[in-house]
Amino acid sequence: MATQAAETPTSTPDAVVVRFAGDSGDGMQLTGGQFTLSTALAGNDLATFPDFPAEIRAPQGTLFGVSAFQINFGSREISTAGDAPDVLVAMNPAGLKVNLDALKPGGLIIIDTGEFTKRNLDKAKYDVNPLEDDSLAKWDVLAFDISALTIEAVKPFGLGNKDALRSKNMWTLGLALWMFDRDRAPIEEWLKNKFKSKPEIADANIAALNAGHAYGETAELAGPIKQMNIAAIESEPGLYRTITGAEAVSLGLVAGAQLAELPMFFGGYPITPASAILHHLARLKEFGVTTFQAEDEIAAICSAIGASYAGQLGVTSSSGPGIALKGEAMGLAIMTELPLVIVNSQRGGPSTGLPTKTEQSDLYQAIYGRNGDAPLPVVSCSSPGDAFETAIEAVRIATTYMTPVMLLTDGYIANAAEPWKVPDPDTFEPFPAKFLEEKNGEELLPYKRDAKGARPWIKPGTPDLMHRIGGIEKAVDTGHIDYAPDNHQAMTDARVNKVLGVEVPDQEIAAGEAGGKLAVVGWGSTYGPIRRAVDNARKKGLDVSHIHVRHIWPLPANLGELLKSYDKVLVPEMNTGQFKTVLRDQFLVDAQPLTKTSGQPFTITELDTAIEGALA
Amino acid sequence: MNEMTKIETTLKDWETDQEVRWCPGCGDYAILKAVQRTLPQLGADPSNTCFISGIGCSSRFPYYMETYGFHTIHGRAPAVATGVKLANPDLDIWLVTGDGDGLSIGGNHMMHVLRRNVNMQIMLFNNEIYGLTKGQSSPTSREGTKSPSTPIGSYDHPVNPCAFALGSGARFIGRGFDVSKNLPDVLKAAHAHQGAAFIEIFQNCIVYNKDVFNDFAAPKGAGDRQLWLKHGEPMLFGDPKTGFDKGITLDRSTLTLKVVDATEENWEEAGVLVHDQTDRNLAHMLIEMPFGPFPMALGVLYDDPRPTFETAVIEERAKSAAGKEANLAKLLAKGQTWTVEANEGHPTD
């Protein structure tokens, strides 16, 4: 980008990718988050990708301790965090080494030479200082001692060297804000608020921010970097904010509970990357939310089932390994036909796998992963903003059909931020939950189904509706224990048909049209890269459409016919081909897999290549 | 339990139309009757009562109670019950579990429901065996118990349920046995206690572990082998026909309990201890008192209430929500926002 700008000084690019990389103690996620905010406020579209180690304080300076935050922003629609950065900010040698390969040729590297000491070079396994050989020749390098400049900038505040260096990230942010002509005021406001009780720390950070900004101006005069202004994107009019997937899921659950007119009970257990939902909801008690940090994953779901039984909206949330632990309890919720929302923030597996990296490999677990014939509806969200609507949809299905519902999100969506047009709650369709208040027959029939196949919801404490439920097979209508062969057949059928009968909107086409040479079918967080790649291909005149499925189970009724209207179906997934198998099984279509399990999202280039390959 | 309006009921009102499916002669029948007899005496309301259980013979209990009932999954009843209680703190909850359900697969949940002090009565039927899975040794089986899974005798050390409960932070610990006429009194005390009330009920499994408690539960000689504790009364025991002739005292040189000869007349001189149910140290000694040299301590061993979990949750919720408005539109628009005006974008193509 720097070279681009230098070569064609009159034009600015329509999108730029910046990656901040440093030690996990360097505050890269904070820097990225604040840069994101300023970018959103400047009216750019954007997408982010925080990429951090599983270790809280990984040994300083090591390769595995590198924490990075990538943002793609522009004056056009942005659908992914970007394949390759134009700008890499490397706060230490390890940050440089880990991220260098991704950088675009000709891109700009900003380096803090203060951290390129013998000790840090050794830790990053550099035999030779890359600043002193020609290994960085194909990039523009802006190397200077950010550490020393920061110490200098915060000197008036009397901090020790160690504390002073903590402001390094703000110094760097100041420089980045200058590069893209951003307003510093919102960041200053945020710093003042964050360090309310320690105003001297706030002042030091603001001084560092201003010093970084001033340095940009000076450096521009000297030549190596240019300021550029990425124009705002033309967006639908309205009120906007940035939102992460974890926030959006939490807000969607709160909105869903309000639409169902129910208090919400959230039972959770700490696990990456799902904990953020527990943290968000814990601060929303005024919305009738109870949060309960249980002793384990099983207790988390069981307490939520107990709350649903008692008449609240039970919600639990976890990630792959925790979801596995909840499996038996999900069966109980299926058997007792109680509403429940289970949020699965997927991560790399199996076992502990890659706690902080993203994957979509829990699809089988979501659809099939329980003992017995244990069907439950599964919905998936495709972006942080989409997570809000999907969470409401999960609550609607759970309470309307008296069933547990799994909401699939993933580590990428949970942590990524995007601009979000704030919806107006008055436009939401309410779906108030109903409770049985008196006997629904001569005797009470707790398992008498309505037209949708749902049984009545009966709160304990309701006068004279005493009854017993449990995990043992229930007799049709009465719900008494019943092991009879015909009864088990009838109840199995009833459970399966209830879920298959969940009303699901017809599948829409995200880009392109019905029929043609190729459909690229995705679900979940692959939306962004697929959308961009399909757009690219269509601009080149290729006959390809993008279909993105939210309702994973049951699938939309028209999906089979829709898929059969294309010559080829390509299913990109961050797993070994799970949705591909489901589509083949359900529709007998020759769906072809495109799989990736590196813990990283698809790049647009990977999908461009696959689309061109499929059409060759 | 909770403060409640008393309701007039009879034993019959608490019986369901379901056929009871325990083995003939099982101790569970006696416990069921004791509970059904106790609830009318408490003035309890069937509509407001909820029995929650795990898996095992004991856990079939809810099906036979004409109340709300939830037969959950193995070991998890405390977690389900915690959710029920938090969602509706007014419900009167009875948890039914066994030695396998409550102390093996569900030991973790048992610990947490006790330390959190969720307001409910927890009845642990201890028969020292896995009954429903056909007789394997359990975490309370005595060393040497022969079973299909331990054909030459079990060799792992058993857990003492009441010691586990005390260690977990329980504030009420009661003990009784299936056919004891005193069991309803223990249940009533548990019900009166605000908080998690743990009751170990020795229960005779006549098929897989028959008469294993006969040493102290058999009527013959019971007076010498059972120490029924009463708050504020001396710890005396012995044949009731001939009068108490022994008591429990503290050996001050070893800080352990000791059996001494004593009667209702001379117990004070004999140094017999007076039961103080709020004394945790005393409760610990009574729980650990080895049967054989000592009688089996029964009744209310410990009862010292402290604030319940659901009260704390409600208070925290109110504190956290104080002064905040539940306005969804405002919540969605929280944080730093910006407005895009119509026709004022900046396309750059």
pLDDT tens-digit map of B313-326: 999 999 999 999 99
In this complex, the residue of B91, B320, B333 whose CB is nearest that of residue A460 is: B91
Cis preceding-peptide flag for B78 (omega within 30 of 0): no
- Is the CB of B335 inside 8 Å of chain A's CB atoms? yes
Confidence tier at A221 by pLDDT (50, 70, 90)? low
HSE-up of A382 (CA within 13 Å, CB side)?
A: 18
Q: How far apart are CA B305 and CA A190, in angstroms?
A: 46
Q: Which of A580, A510, A243 is nearest to A389 (CA)?
A: A243
Instruction: Please give the angle made by the CA atoms of B236, B240 and B242, to the nearest 5 degrees.
Output: 105
Say how far apart CA A101 and CA A68 lie, in whole Å: 14
pLDDT tens column, B217-245: 999 999 999 999 999 999 999 998 899 99
Amino acid letter for position A70: Q
| Res A222: pLDDT | 64
Q: What is the pLDDT of residues B84-111, one digit of tens each?
A: 999 999 999 999 999 999 999 999 999 9
Interface-testing mutation among A466, A474, A480, with chain B (most B C-beta atoms within 10 A): A466
Integer Cα distance of A168 and B211 in angstroms: 75
Helices H, strands E: what count in chain B? Answer: 11, 12
Nearest to B82 among A241, A298, A306 (CB): A306
Residue A459 touches partner B, C-beta closer than 8 Å = yes
Three-class secondary structure of residue B288 per DSSP: helix
Angle between helix axes A146-154 and A168-179 (nearest 10 degrees) is: 100
Picking from B76, B326, B339, the nearest residue to A287 by CB comes out as B326
3-state SS of A306-327 is: HHHHCCCEEEEEECHHHHHHCH
- Angstrom CA distances, B283 to A360, B167, B278, stand at 53, 11, 8
From B79's Cα to the closest Cα of chain A, the distance in A is 5
Nearest-CA distance B117 → chain A (Å) = 14
Residue B347 has pLDDT above 70, yes or no: no
CA–CA separation, A447 and A327 (whole Å): 23
DSSP letters spanning A387-429: HHHHHHHHHHHHHHHT-EEEEEEEHHHHH-EEEEEPP-GGGSP
Looking at residue A401, its pLDDT comes to 98
Residue B344 tokens, joined: 């004022």
Cβ–Cβ below 8 Å for A14 and B349: yes
Inter-chain residue contact B80 with A464, CB threshold 8 Å: no
* Packing angle of the helix pair A185-194, A199-222 (nearest 10 deg): 150
Beta bridge partners of A316: A267, A342
**DSSP strand pairing (A551-553 vs A378-380):** antiparallel
Q: What is the DSSP letter of A457?
A: P
Sign of torsion over alpha carbons A411, A412, A416, A422: negative
Of the candidates A242, A310, A464, which has its C-beta nearest B47's C-beta? A464
The HSE-up count of residue B275 (CA atoms within 13 Å, CB side) is 24
CB contact under 8 A, A255 and B332: yes
pTM: predicted TM-score of the whole model, two decimal places: 0.92
Segment (H or E) for A214: helix A199-222
* Angle made by CA atoms A578, A584, A586, in degrees to the nearest 5: 100
- Pairing verdict, β B68-71 and B49-53: parallel
Question: Burial level of A449, CB count in 10 A (0-12/13-18/19+)?
Answer: middle
From the candidates B84, B111, B327, B344, which should be mutated to test the interface with A, based on the most A CB atoms within 10 A?
B84
Mark A569-586 as b/e (b = at least 16 C-beta within 10 Å): bbbbbbbebbbbbbbbee
pLDDT digits 0-9 by tens, B273-312: 999 999 999 999 999 999 999 999 999 999 999 999 999 9
Residue A5 has pLDDT above 50, yes or no: no
**Is the Cβ–Cβ distance between A519 and A544 less than 8 Å?**
yes
Take residue A495 and report the two structure tokens written for it.
């459970």
Q: Which of A285, A332, A468 sits opposite B63 (nearest CB)?
A: A468
Q: What number is the average pLDDT over the span A335-345?
A: 98
CA distance A280 to chain B (A): 12
Pair A30, A37: CB distance under 8 Å: no
What is the per-residue pLDDT for B343? 56
Answer yes or no: do B334 and A241 touch at CB < 8 A: yes
Between CA A564 and CA B241 the distance in angstroms is 90
Q: Hey, is the C-beta of A460 within 8 angstroms of any chain B C-beta? A: yes
Q: How far is B52 from chain A (nearest CA, A)?
A: 9
pLDDT of A19 over the 60 cut:
yes
Residue-wise DSSP of A50-106: EE--SSTTPPTT-GGGEEEEEEEEESS---SS-SS-SEEEESSHHHHHHHHTTSPTT
B266 near A CB under 8 A: no
Cis status of the peptide bond prior to A273, with omega within 30 of 0: yes
Instruction: Please answer yes or no on whether B86 and A311 come within 8 Å at the CB atom.
Output: no
pLDDT tens for A374-423 read 999 999 999 999 999 999 999 999 999 999 999 999 999 998 889 999 99
For residue B87, what are the contacts with CB-CB under 8 A and spacing of at least 6?
A263, A265, A290, A306, A307, A309, A310, A311, A312
Q: Most B CBs within 10 Å: which of A229, A289, A468, A480, as the mutation test of the B interface?
A: A468
Looking at chain B, which residue has its C-alpha nearest residue A311? Answer: B87
Q: pLDDT at residue A50 above 50?
A: yes
Per the CB < 8 A criterion, the answer to whether A287 and A425 are in contact is: no
Q: Average pLDDT of A319-346?
A: 98
The secondary structure of chain A in percent helix, strand, coil, rounded to multiples of 5, reads 40, 20, 40
For residue B345, the model assigns a pLDDT of: 43
Are the Cβ atoms of B88 and A461 closer than 8 angstroms? yes
Strand pairing report for A238-244 and B337-340:
antiparallel
Question: What is the interface size between A and B, counted as CB pairs within 8 Å?
Answer: 225
**With bands split at pLDDT 50, 70 and 90, how would you rate the model's confidence at B3?**
low
pLDDT digits (tens, 9 = 90+) for B188-228: 999 999 999 999 999 999 999 999 999 999 999 999 999 99
Structure letter (DSSP) for residue B341? P
Mean pLDDT within A474-496: 97
Contact: A306, B80; criterion CB under 8 Å: yes
Share of chain B above pLDDT 70, in %: 97
Q: CA-CA distances (angstroms) from residue A109 to A99, A141, A230, A554?
A: 10, 5, 19, 48
Residue contact B47–A292, C-beta within 8 A:
no
Q: Residues of A with CB below 8 A from B80's CB?
A: 302-303, 305-306, 309
- Quick one: DSSP state of residue B48? G
Predicted pLDDT at A6: 38
pLDDT of residue B2: 56
Residues in Cβ contact with A302 at an 8 Å cutoff, skipping those fewer than 6 apart: A267, A294, A329, A332, B72, B73, B76, B79, B80, B83, B109
8 Å CB contact of B313 and A464: no
> Å from B275 to nearest chain A CA?
35
Distance CA B101, CA A471 (A): 15
For range A314-340, the mean pLDDT: 98
Find residues 282-311 of chain A whose CB sits inside 8 Å of chain B: 282-288, 290, 292, 294-296, 298-300, 302-311
Query: Are the CB atoms for B13 and B40 separated by under 8 Å?
Result: yes
Would you tell me which residues 106-135 of chain B have a C-beta closer than 8 angstroms to some C-beta of chain A? 108-109, 111-112
Query: Residue A519's closest CA among A574, A583, A577?
Result: A583
Say how far apart CA A531 and CA A611 lie, in whole Å.
12
CA-nearest of A218, A176, A198 to A73 is A176
Provide mean pLDDT across the span A295-304. 98
pLDDT of A7 reads 38
Residue A595 has pLDDT above 60, yes or no: yes
**Considering all CA atoms of chain B, what is the largest pairwise distance in Å, rounded to the nearest integer?**
106
| Tokens coding B216 | 């102290």
Report in angstroms the alpha-carbon separations of A146 from A33, A273, A320, B3, B242.
20, 32, 41, 66, 93
For chain A positions 12-31, those within 8 Å of chain B (CB to CB) are 12, 14
Q: Look at residue A224 in the predicted model and tell me its pLDDT.
A: 60
- Kindly report the average pLDDT of chain A as a whole number: 94
Inter-chain CB proximity A329 and B73 less than 8 Å = yes
Nearest chain A residue to B81 by CA distance is: A306
Q: Which of A240, A283, A466 has the CB atom closest to B340's CB atom? A: A240
Neighboring chain B residues of A263 at a CB cutoff of 8 Å = 87
Mark which residues 492-551 of A lie under 8 Å from B by CB.
Answer: none
- Give the model's pLDDT for residue B244: 95
Cα separation values, A72 from A16, A76, A357, A397, Å: 6, 11, 19, 35
Q: CA-based angle A494:A496:A499, to the nearest 5?
A: 105
Q: Is B334 close to A238, i.e. CB distance below 8 A?
A: no
Residue B193: closest CA among B216, B172, B219, B213: B172
Q: Tell me whether B43 touches chain A (CB under 8 Å).
A: no
Residue pair B116/B82 in contact by the 8 Å Cβ criterion: yes
- Chain A residues near residue B332 by CB distance under 8 angstroms: 251, 255, 422-423, 425
pLDDT digits (tens, 9 = 90+) for A550-573: 999 999 999 999 999 999 999 999
- State whether residue A144 sits within 8 Å of chain B by CB: no
CB within 8 Å: B68 and A461: yes
Beta bridge partners, A46, equal: A73
Determine which of A266, A285, A289 to mutate to test the interface with B (most B C-beta atoms within 10 Å).
A285
A265 in B contact zone (CB under 8 Å): yes
Alpha-carbon Rg for chain B, nearest whole angstrom, is 25
- Secondary structure of A477-531 in HEC code, one letter for each residue: ECCCECCCHHHHHHHHHHHHHHHHCCCCCCCCCCECCCCEEEEEEEEHHHHHHHH
CB contact under 8 A, B71 and A468: yes
**Out of B71, B91, B328, closest to residue A461 by CB:** B91
Q: Do A461 and B328 touch (CB under 8 A)?
A: no
B104-146 residue pLDDT tens: 999 999 999 999 999 999 999 999 999 999 999 999 999 999 9
